[in-house]
Chains A and B, each alone.
Chain A
Amino acid sequence: NAGVMQNPRHLVRRRGQEARLRCSPMKGHSHVYWYRQLPEEGLKFMVYLQKENIIDESGMPKERFSAEFPKEGPSILRIQQVVRGDSAAYFCASSPSPGNEQYFGPGTRLTVT
Chain B
Amino acid sequence: KQEVTQIPAALSVPEGENLVLNCSFTDSAIYNLQWFRQDPGKGLTSLLLIQSSQREQTSGRLNASLDKSSGRSTLYIAASQPGDSATYLCAVILTGGSNYKLTFGKGTLLTVNP
Interface residues of A (CB under 8 A from B): 31, 33, 35, 41-45, 48, 55-56, 58-59, 91, 93, 95, 98-99, 101-107, 109
B106 touches A33 (CB 8 A): no
Q: Please indicate the chain A residues that have their CB under 8 angstroms from the CB of B103 in the complex.
A: 45
Question: B26-55: contact bitstring with A at CB < 8 Å (1 yes, 0 no)?
Answer: 000001101010000111111001000000
B101 touches A99 (CB 8 A): no
Q: Is the interface of B mostly helix, strand, loop or mixed?
A: strand
A55 touches B98 (CB 8 A): yes
B104 in the interface (beta carbon within 8 A): yes
* B44: nearest chain-A partner, CB-CB: A104
Choose from A33, A43, A45, A107 the contact partner of B89 (Cβ within 8 Å): A43
Interface residues of B (CB under 8 A from A): 31-32, 34, 36, 41-46, 49, 89, 91, 93, 98-107
Q: A104-B43, A107-B43 are in contact. Are A43 and B104 (CB under 8 A)?
A: yes
* A95: nearest chain-B partner, CB-CB: B100
B32 touches A99 (CB 8 A): yes
A102 touches B99 (CB 8 A): no
Q: Please indicate the chain A residues that have their CB under 8 angstroms from the CB of B98 in the complex.
A: 55-56, 98
- Give Cα A98 to B36, complex, Å: 19
The 9 A-B residue pairs with the shortest CB-CB distance in the complex, in nearest-first order: A45-B101, A104-B44, A106-B43, A42-B106, A43-B104, A56-B99, A99-B100, A101-B49, A42-B104
Tell me, rounded to whole Å, the shortest Cβ–Cβ distance linking A33 to chain B.
7
Q: Please indicate the chain B residues that have their CB under 8 angstroms from the CB of A48 in the complex.
A: 99-101
- Give Cα A102 to B91, complex, Å: 11
**Considering residues A35, A58, A59, which has the most beta carbons from chain B within 10 angstroms of its beta carbon?**
A35
Q: Please indicate the chain B residues that have their CB under 8 angstroms from the CB of A106 in the complex.
A: 42-43
Choose from A43, A59, A98 the contact partner of B100 (Cβ within 8 Å): A98
